Amino acid sequence: MIRFALRRLGLLIPTLFGISILVFALMHLVPGDPAALVGVDSDGAVSANVDASAQVAGFRERYLFDLPLWKQYLHYVGPFNLSDDGHPWFGGSGEDRWNGLLALDFGREFLRPQVDVGSELWRRLSITLPLTAMALLLAYLISIPLGIYSAVRAGSLFDKTSALVVFALYALPTFWIGLLLQMSFGRTGLDSLPTLGLASPDAMDLDTGARVLDRLAHLVLPVLTYALGCLAYLSRQVRSGMLEVIGAEYVRTARAKGLPEFNVISKHAFRNSLLPLITLFGAVLPSLVGGSIVVETIFDIPGMGLYVYESLLRREYNAIMAAVLIGAVMTVVGMLTSDLLYAWLDPRIRLEGGSSDA
Amino acid sequence: MVRTFFAALGLALPVGALVFLSGFGTTLQSEPNGEPKGAAATSEHPFGPGAVPFDDFRESVEGSSKPVRGGRLVVHIPSRPLHLNHVIEAGADARRILEEVHARLVERNMETWELEPSLAESIEVFDRLNFLPSKGGSASSVYGREVYGSHAKFAWLPIEWSLPDDPSSSEETPPTISFFNDGDYESVDSASVFLFRLRQDALWHDGHRFDAGDVIFTLDTYLNPAVQSEHARHLFQQIRSYEALDAYTVRVEFEQSYFMSLDIFEDDFAILPSHIFNLADEDNPHFDSEATDAERAEFIHSNSANVNWVGLGPYRVTEFSDQHIEAERFDNYFDKQDAGWVDEIRWRIIPDDNAAKQALLAGEIDFFGRLRSRELLGEFTAQEAFAEQFDKGFYYSPQMNFIAWNQRRALFRDVRVRQALAHSFDWQEFIDTIGSEMGEAVTATWYRFSPAYDAELERFPFDLDRAEELLAESGWFDRDGDGVIDKDGERFEFEYLFNKNDATMRLVGQKLKENLERIGIVMNMAERDFAAKQALVGERNFDAAAGSWILGPETDPVGLWHSKGADVERSFNQSGYRDERSDQLIEDIQGELDDNRRIPLYHELQARIYEAQPMMFGCVFPVKFAVSKRVRGVQRFFLDPGYSLRRWFILPKAEKR
């Protein structure tokens, strides 16, 4: 198992390189320069006295955009700095030899040059991760019992009603759920929960206990909005997994042995129905770090989703690359984790020698 | 020309001196602890320059109008500024915050629209007379002087002449007027040398004293090729030389007369604290006298003071977070009469308008400037939660929208075709329906309410029959009966490029498409995100492109309309407009220093460009806002940002936050 894990982790490196080349090329193929956004207001109106042509030319020179793409890629990956100050092999002065991804440098943003992409990503992750983790936990906590109960009572009124409700929630756009929650619990409705941000603007003035409560109150609506959208998918996965095993012979045997129904369901049926959920786990990890553009926009949460979206609009290549690479790492790690969990749950699956990647 | 100049100078001397001594009385000043600046009055044009009353948009004003200190003001802004260092970024959101947390050499009086001294206590403007070398004499140039005194716009002082290397030395010389013989000189470059005498009582927010070193360092920074300031560098490249004559005097000499030479020290010149950003300043903890241009630039780019701003304004930034930017009143601000009433200003950043409206109704915001017309006039502002807490109003700001026709493409080369397109859209109907009758269709790119704009110029009326006639005259009609007009085997079909977030220009496009279909033109909507749209327009890879300009009270038309930009990639002459007479008019405008004599030049230029229709001139929509009833002292200015937060105060009884 350890060998398997190491081999999969080893594959991570070429995978990441492949992804980085692909994303780098795609990103630069999309028309648009970050410099085009200088002097532009939030609605896209442009200051008429800005010298856009000099601005773009300066940007392109400063960030080496005029070099052939492969050279730009080498510069990005490093560790040889290809700028004028960079490595003497590439015509630089040698003052600043090492940079790039291999020197663990994600670079800076173009339009906010004071921002280091690595630290900004870390900051955004620290906002998004707790939020998405809580939302997913909540979604699992609701959907697993819901799915099991629906499967056990398949065809009952409860099963049909819950299916209707979760599909309705699934069909509703997230932004609409978010706005509805805001209107219901915000000032215009029950006036019981904060509707914006992750903390009150004056939270720093509160004592620790009050600050924790303030943070929790701010989390309720975004977590709920995020979780409600996932409910249908997860609960239907649990239900169908359970339905498959609930009629299996070993379940019938367990019942025949006279085991209590709770034990039959929880120990015999549920554990075997978990496989589809484990598969989903591979996809859960990247979504944990990816956040949600919609939820973050509506509730004004400066998390990863919003960051990636804004970076795409501003053509912040360094930020986009870093976010995609982190997403790729999380996907690979998520898939590896789900494979390992498979083996843990189902001893029939062997992970030795790569012969039985289930 | 020179004789006229001196004659004018002679005439202006006694009158001007009188005016200077008495001061211009139109701008009202606040008394210490008294009424704020400004007063109720009417101006010639309701949206043009003139005195602006307080709180005139409110239906009823309860409570005292006497300003009091204290409280916190929460103002909504729709996007996170990248940072506050305006030298390396020119975004409007940052600029609006800098209004309160920074100060400039000269400030525009939002009521009179005139520039007034600010950090520069006074500005002396020298004219330069260039002698012909063949006529002998040791001096190649001499200088005359006029002064921007405090609160007087322009006043002639006794004329003095001195050698060019030190034009400030002859302070007490008795007034003399010299006349020169024709042929001794070649030209007079009016207003080519400026002497900024700086205030000696201005402090940076960290307590460091402001002086000429900061101004010189900022000019160095704009001109440092490694600094990300190309957007404004062209303005400062017009400067021939600059130097600090002493710790509080800066001399700047321009290559030639330029009508906006003083203006660039207002909006485009954001002074940086040398002791924080300048590696070559011994007061800087990171002092490095050997630093190269690139290292100095990098130090500025990556400086944390770009967000933790240290400025010179009446408010000091205390927090720059994802949610808000907060500033508290800076007690050592130099202008005690305009130092702000509220203790704190919080710019609340909420990018999503719906979320911002929720925050507004929840009472978390005092000012919101993004109401839609139908909200201003309809249910949203009628609901109790709004009406109880807020008043509503509008103001105009210098911004206009347009559709540029790419004249480099054969389809749009014929002026009759472009005029036909102008006849194909009913802007008035659009304003009446979409803008709920709030807005003005325009015929120029300069500000609708500035004196430079000729409001008498008639628009091409909406007339599809006339459009068809013009198209037929230029050879476009339906030869093959497929419903689409054609010429030389080509169908009249083009792409309308617009920014996907621009809801207004999307609607314009949809309506225009319908209209054009009726006269046999196929218009395809091409929606792109802003960066992609700008790239296509910059590479001139478009047929028709929608956009909008943010303008000043007066904008140099050279960038938008001079033919020298027609072939330059990414220049703002997007349509590729060329016209010799227009070029001449633009150059005349640039060299004409008399405000009144520029107006007819603008009017002629406006008529020529409008006739040629390089773009479909759109309209200006007002900014519709909501402001809390607890806030008073609100004036609506018709220049960006439309308000002056330092004049606002909070009614004490309503003080909750």
The tally of domains found in chain A comes to: 2
Residue B13's pLDDT is: 31
Asked if B316 and B345 touch (Cβ cutoff 8 Å), the reply is no
Helix residue ranges, H only, B266-409: 274-277, 293-301, 353-361, 373-377, 379-382, 384-389
Whether residue A111 lies inside any domain: the answer is no
Does A170 lie in the same domain as A65? no
Tens digits of residue pLDDT in B121-139: 988 887 766 655 554 444 4
Look at B324 and A201 and tell me if their CB atoms are within 8 Å: yes
Please state the φ and ψ torsions of residue A127, each to the nearest 5 degrees. Answer: -90, -45
Q: In chain B, whose CA is at the least distance from the CA of A96?
A: B295
Q: Which percentage of chain B shows pLDDT scores above 70?
A: 82
Strand segments (E) across B229-353: 239-246, 249-254, 315-320, 324-329, 344-349
The beta-carbon neighbor of A42 closest among B93, B294, B528 is B93
Per-residue pLDDT band for B283 (boundaries 50, 70, 90) equals: very high
**In A, residues 329-358, which contact B (CB 8 Å cutoff)?**
none
Amino acid at B253: E
Please, which pLDDT band fits residue B421 given cuts at 50, 70 and 90? very high
Find the DSSP H helices in chain A: 2-29, 52-62, 69-77, 117-152, 157-171, 174-185, 208-246, 249-256, 261-263, 270-273, 275-290, 293-298, 304-314, 317-345
B429: left (phi over 0), alpha (psi -120 to 50) or beta: alpha
**Residue A252 resides in a domain:** yes
Q: Is B243 helix (H, G, I), strand (E, B) or coil?
A: strand
What are the two backbone dihedrals, phi and then psi, of residue B391, each rounded to the nearest 5 degrees?
-110, 160
Instruction: Supply the DSSP string of B140-192, one letter for each residue.
Output: SEEEEEEEE-TT-S-EE-------TT-TTS-TTPPP------TTSEEEEEEEE
A341 to A2, A10, A282: CA distances (angstroms): 13, 19, 10
Q: What is the pLDDT of residues B482-511, one digit of tens each?
A: 999 999 999 999 999 999 988 899 999 999
The rounded distance, in Å, linking the Cα atoms of B402 and B412 is: 16
Name, in order, each residue with C-beta under 8 angstroms of B163's C-beta and a sequence gap of 6 or more: B139, B142
Residue A80 lies in a domain: yes
Backbone torsions φ then ψ of A203, nearest 5 degrees: -60, -30
Considering the domain architecture, whether residues A237 and A329 belong to the same structural domain is answered as yes
One-character DSSP codes across B117-140: ESSEEEEEEEEEEEEPGGG--S-S
Interval B278-302 mean pLDDT: 92
Question: Do residues A75 and A180 share a domain?
Answer: no
Q: In this predicted structure, what is the pLDDT of residue B406?
A: 96
How does residue B521 score in pLDDT terms, banded at 50, 70 and 90?
very high
Task: Please give the Cα distance from B448 to A72 (Å, whole number).
Answer: 46
Range of the domain at A141: 119-348
Within a domain: residue A353?
Answer: no
A225 and A180 belong to one structural domain: yes
B71 SS3 class: coil
> Residues of A with CB below 8 A from B404's CB?
none
B531-545, pLDDT tens digit by residue? Answer: 899 889 999 999 999
Angstrom CA distances, B396 to B619, B620, B638, stand at 11, 8, 5
Please report, for residues A145, A233, A273, B329, the alpha-carbon distance to residue A265 in angstroms, rounded to integers and kept in the order given: 11, 21, 10, 66
Q: Please report, for the domain that includes residue A278, its CATH number.
A: 1.10.3720.10
pLDDT at A79: 78
Q: What is the pLDDT of residues B462-473, one digit of tens each?
A: 999 999 999 999
The pair of structure tokens assigned to A294 is 């919609």
Please answer whether residues B162 and B143 qualify as being in contact, where contact means their C-beta atoms are separated by less than 8 angstroms: yes
Backbone dihedral angles phi then psi of residue B616, each to the nearest 5 degrees: -85, 115
Whether residue A127 is found in the same domain as residue A91: no
Do B647 and B461 contact (CB within 8 A), yes or no? no
- Per-residue confidence (pLDDT) for residue A350, from 0 to 100: 59
Same domain for A212 and A341, yes or no, is: yes
Verify that A206 and A308 share a domain, yes or no.
yes
B147-160: per-residue pLDDT in tens?
443 333 333 333 33
- The tens-digit pLDDT sequence of chain A (358 residues) is 677 778 877 888 888 889 999 999 998 888 888 877 776 777 777 777 778 888 888 888 888 888 888 888 988 887 777 777 777 777 777 777 777 888 888 888 888 888 899 999 999 998 888 888 888 889 888 888 888 888 888 888 888 888 888 888 888 888 888 888 888 887 777 878 888 888 877 777 778 888 888 888 888 999 988 888 778 778 888 888 888 888 788 888 888 888 888 888 877 787 777 777 777 777 777 777 777 788 888 888 888 888 998 898 888 999 999 998 888 888 888 888 888 877 777 767 655 544 444 3
Angle at B140 between CA B136 and CA B145, to 5 degrees: 130
**Angle formed at CA A217 by CA A216 and CA A220, multiple of 5 degrees:** 85
Give the C-alpha distances (Å, rounded to integers) separating B215 from B119, B205, B250, B301, B393: 10, 16, 8, 18, 39
- Going B356 to B358 to B361 to B363, the CA torsion angle's sign is negative
**Residue pairs spanning A and B at CB distance below 8 A:** 197
Give the residue on A whose Cα is nearest the Cα of B226.
Answer: A62
Span B615-655, pLDDT tens digits = 999 999 999 999 999 999 999 998 888 999 999 999 886 54
Per-residue pLDDT, B6: 34
For A24, other C-beta atoms within 10 Å of its C-beta total 20
If asked whether residues A126 and A25 sit together in one domain, one would say no
Shared domain for A273 and A316, answered yes or no, is yes
In a domain, A174, yes or no: yes
∠ CA(B309), CA(B310), CA(B315), 5° rounding? 90
Q: Among B356, B337, B340, B338, which Cα is nearest to B348's?
A: B356
Task: Verify whether the Cβ–Cβ distance A54 to B385 is below 8 Å.
Answer: no
Is A47 within the bounds of a domain? no
- Per the model's pLDDT, the better-predicted residue between B574 and B569 turns out to be B574
Among the partner residues A36, A114, A183, nearest to B301 by beta-carbon distance: A114
Determine contact, residues B391/B59, Cβ cutoff 8 Å.
yes
On the question of pLDDT at B5 being above 60, the answer is no
- Residue B198: closest CA among B153, B162, B246: B246
Tokens of B555: 């904008």
Closest alpha carbon within chain A to B80 = A42
Tell whether A58 and A162 lie within a shared domain. no
Whether residue A282 lies inside any domain: the answer is yes
Domain identity same for A90 and A188: no
Mutate to test the interface with B, among A41, A110, A116, A221 (most CBs of B within 10 A): A41
Decide if the complex's ipTM is over 0.90: no
**A36 shares contact with chain B (CB less than 8 Å):** yes
The DSSP element (H or E) to which B609 belongs, if any, is helix B595-612
| CA B454 to mean position of chain CA atoms | 19
Residues A98, A26 share a domain: yes
Residues near A252 by beta carbon (within 8 Å), at least 6 away in sequence: none
Q: List CB contacts of A102: < 8 A, sequence separation 6 or more.
A: A77, A78, A79
Q: Which residues 6+ apart lie within 8 Å of A156 measured at CB?
A: none
Mean pLDDT of B6-29: 29
Place of tokens 């900004």: A120
Of A39, A51, A56, the CB nearest to B91: A39
B107 phi and psi, to 5 degrees? -120, 150
Q: Which domains does chain B have, with CATH numbers?
A: 2-22+114-306 (3.90.76.10), 72-102+313-396+622-654 (3.40.190.10), 399-620 (3.10.105.10)
- Which residues in chain A (251-310) have CB-CB distances under 8 A to chain B? 297-300, 302
Burial class of residue A59, CB neighbours in 10 A (0-12, 13-18, 19+): buried
On whether residue A45 sits in a domain, the answer given is no
- Token couple for B485: 């007009």
Q: At B407, phi and psi to the nearest 5?
A: -75, -5
Cis peptide before B285 (omega within 30 of 0): no
